[in-house]
Amino acid sequence: MRIYRGLLILAPLLVAAAFAHSAVAQQPERPETAAPAKRPARKPAPAKPPAAAEAKPTLLGQYDGWGAYTATPDGKKICFAIAKPTSAETKPPNRPRNPPHLFISTRPADKVTNEISVAVGYPLKAGTEASVEVGATTFALSTLGEGAWIKNVAEQAHMIDVMRQGDTAVVKGESSRGTQSIDTYSLKGLSEALDRVAQECQ
């Protein structure tokens, strides 16, 4: 199983920054109002370390539910497409967990193209597999912590092709406490997001 442990550490930072950027971008503009009363001057915020600034993703384009981003953590360029599920359920219902997401990354320096990873939002049960269903095709996922990757790396290009042509991807997993999750992702806009990623990270 090919797992890039550096990306395991970096991905949450990229994901959080990307979704924060998306939320701000989608907020409606506020109407102009009278100038607010002046506030006491604040001390300037300390400058961010270069590494943190480089890791902050830049939005390349938003395609329906899929955002295409680029960032340069540790001086290495990375491009990725990311989406939140359109529906997320657990059995038993309403179990707490972190926000799930589907993340497809391209890292030219590592010769990696369209690597699929899933964050389920809670620690997955050790020794178990998760799965992604796209139409009638099911792909097995290996798991580690809250993350999951395609088990057979040789199938990854085929999985991307199937996803490009599909309508939804349904991710199923089981937590270390026995909670089952079923997350449904719309695939509308995925092809455009991946094409933009490929254009940026050739």
pLDDT the model gives residue 6 = 38
Which H or E element spans position 27?
Answer: none
How many Å from the N-terminal Cα to the C-terminal Cα in the chain?
Answer: 24
For the chain, which residues make up each domain, given as ranges?
A: 5-22+46-200
Instruction: List pLDDT tens digits, range 104-123.
Output: 999 999 999 999 999 999 99
Identify the CATH class of 5-22+46-200. Answer: mainly beta
Mean per-residue pLDDT, 171-190 = 96
**Res. 35 pLDDT band, cuts 50 70 90:** very low
Q: In the chain, pLDDT over 70 holds for what percent of residues?
A: 73
pLDDT score, position 25: 44
pLDDT per residue as tens digits for the range 124-170: 998 889 999 999 999 999 999 999 999 999 999 999 999 999 999 99
Amino acid at position 148, single letter? A
Residue 37, pLDDT above cutoff 60: no
- Asked if residue 27 has pLDDT above 80, the reply is no
Nearest residue to 193 (alpha-carbon basis) of 54, 20, 22, 29: 22
List pLDDT tens digits, range 76-112. Answer: 999 999 999 999 999 999 889 999 999 999 999 999 9
Which pLDDT value is given to residue 55? 67
Residue-level length of the chain: 202
Phi, psi of 95 (to 5 degrees): -75, 135
Question: What is the model's pTM?
Answer: 0.77
CA distances from 160 to 55, 81, 87, 94, 103 (A): 26, 12, 21, 31, 12
Q: Containing H/E element for 125?
A: none
Q: Which two tokens stand for residue 114?
A: 């369209």
